[in-house]
Amino acid sequence: MEKVLFIAHTDADGNLPKAALETLTAAKATCGDLTVGLIGADVQAAADSIAECGAEAILGVSGDAFGASRYSTDAAAIEALVKQAAPEVVIAPNTARFARSMPGAAFRCGGKIDTHITGMFREGGKLEVQRWYYRQRMSATLSREARPWFLLLEGGLAEAFSGAGSAIVQTVDVAVDNVRTEVVGVQAPDSDAQTIRPEAEVLFVAGAGWMKKQADGEVKIKDAEEIILGFLDKTQASLGSTKSLVDQEAEGDVLNFMSHMNQVGQTGSTPRHNKGLATCCHGEEPHTVGWRFINERRAISLDANCGWAQGKADVLYIADAFEVMKKVNELL
């Protein structure tokens, strides 16, 4: 088997992100023992957390300059780890930080890179990977002769690795002269203003029905807002939307916590959650195609002939979503 280097960076607390631990399990399952390379302000705690992974060596690039995501220092750190370990295959999680820095580092190392990998296995001993093309419509299995071959793996491919102990980290020195970008802080919305939560158990989708005239002839935007935010607050579900609902943003009075980032579907996102609940949504194919990674699907619609009724949902409630969700929130 090839010589493999698994690379991970720490999070703000000095731990390894879940995506890194899942990637480690997947890498071990396919490639056996590997060398580990860690990047962070201080990598000892991260190394200890995976001490029992059977690595041939744990290399570390550490120091304040490597605490935050920054292309120049991350690419330099990856390059140094690859030069030290001289691997044929480099495997890392597809985090935002590595999505930014790994392609450049692969180029510097004279290698090739494939990103968004959703499967990794061996066919006749040969390493093969899987990824989607054309917005999750075509799945390709591919392999490459070029080495080193860099692979960025999506989350959720394997269980997170667990096996803590006491690790010995071999320090790899990387010069940090010539750094022109200073990380002064992080600006992020409040956590309760952030409605897209990839780690959530449940995806809650709101459709255009929330903005339509209801049986009494009234449009009830304030009620809709209260019900949807109430549900999100109580369950910490992730908020998705149909295209029709987010497109109404251009028309004035809308749900102000909703943006095109929430759109699920063919021209939106394809999130991964264990369960999904669609409300006031018709369940048309260009929308439901974005549900392909939702395991258990339920929908609430007034229309008994909607798309959800045509085999798109496991359970469909023909009911008024305002009424049902009010009751659900009360019960929660």
Ligand X SMILES: Cc1cc2nc3c(=O)[nH]c(=O)nc-3n(C[C@H](O)[C@H](O)[C@H](O)COP(=O)(O)OP(=O)(O)OC[C@H]3O[C@@H](n4cnc5c(N)ncnc54)[C@H](O)[C@@H]3O)c2cc1C
Q: Does residue 242 belong to the site contacting ligand X (CB under 6 A)?
A: yes
Give the shortest CB-116-to-ligand X separation in angstroms.
Answer: 18
Among residues 28, 243, 273, 312, the one that binds ligand X under rule CB under 6 A: 243
Among residues 253, 286, 296, 315, the one that binds ligand X under rule CB under 6 A: 286
- Spatial contact of 89 and 148, defined as CB atoms under 8 Å apart: yes
Q: How many CA atoms lie within 13 A of 228 on its CB side?
A: 30
Q: Does residue 281 belong to the site contacting ligand X (CB under 6 A)?
A: yes
Q: How many CA atoms lie within 13 A of 5 on its CB side?
A: 26
Q: Which stretch binds ligand X (CB under 6 A): 120-128, 169-177, 183-191, 242-250?
A: 242-250
Give the shortest CB-288-to-ligand X separation in angstroms.
Answer: 8
Between CA 36 and CA 4 the distance in angstroms is 9
Give the shortest CB-24-to-ligand X separation in angstroms.
Answer: 33
- Spatial contact of 324 and 317, defined as CB atoms under 8 Å apart: yes
Between CA 9 and CA 76 the distance in angstroms is 13
Between CA 94 and CA 102 the distance in angstroms is 9
Among residues 268, 291, 316, 328, the one that binds ligand X under rule CB under 6 A: 268
- Within 292-321, the residues that bind ligand X by CB under 6 A are 300-303, 306, 320-321
Instruction: Select 11 or 320, whichever has its Cβ closest to ligand X.
Output: 320
Residue 127 CB neighbour total at 10 angstroms: 20
Q: Where does the chain have alpha helices with state H?
A: 18-31, 44-49, 71-85, 96-108, 221-235, 243-247, 285-288, 321-331
Among residues 9, 70, 287, 312, the one that binds ligand X under rule CB under 6 A: 287
Instruction: Select 162 or 305, whichever has its Cβ closest to ligand X.
Output: 305
Among residues 118, 130, 214, 248, the one that binds ligand X under rule CB under 6 A: 214
Instruction: Select 112 or 298, whichever has its Cβ closest to ligand X.
Output: 298
Instruction: Select 107 or 317, whichever has its Cβ closest to ligand X.
Output: 317
Q: Does residue 44 belong to the site contacting ligand X (CB under 6 A)?
A: no
Q: Residue 298 burial by CB count (10 A; 0-12/13-18/19+): exposed, middle or buried? A: middle
- Within 103-122, the residues that bind ligand X by CB under 6 A are none
Among residues 60, 148, 155, 265, the one that binds ligand X under rule CB under 6 A: 265
Among residues 284, 291, 294, 313, the one that binds ligand X under rule CB under 6 A: 284
According to DSSP, the residues that pair with 117 across neighbouring strands are 153
Give the shortest CB-197-to-ligand X separation in angstroms.
Answer: 19
Question: Nearest to residue 85, comparing CAs of 77, 95, 93?
Answer: 77
Number of residues that bind ligand X (CB under 6 A): 30
Give the shortest CB-137-to-ligand X separation in angstroms.
Answer: 12
Pairing of β 119-123 and β 126-133: antiparallel
- Within 154-213, the residues that bind ligand X by CB under 6 A are 207-209, 212
Instruction: Select 177 or 251, whichever has its Cβ closest to ligand X.
Output: 251
Would you mind telling me the total number of residues written for the chain in this entry?
332
CA torsion 238-244-245-250 (nearest 10°) is 130
In the complex, the residues that contact ligand X under the rule CB under 6 A are 207-209, 212, 214, 242-245, 263-268, 280-282, 284, 286-287, 290, 300-303, 306, 320-322
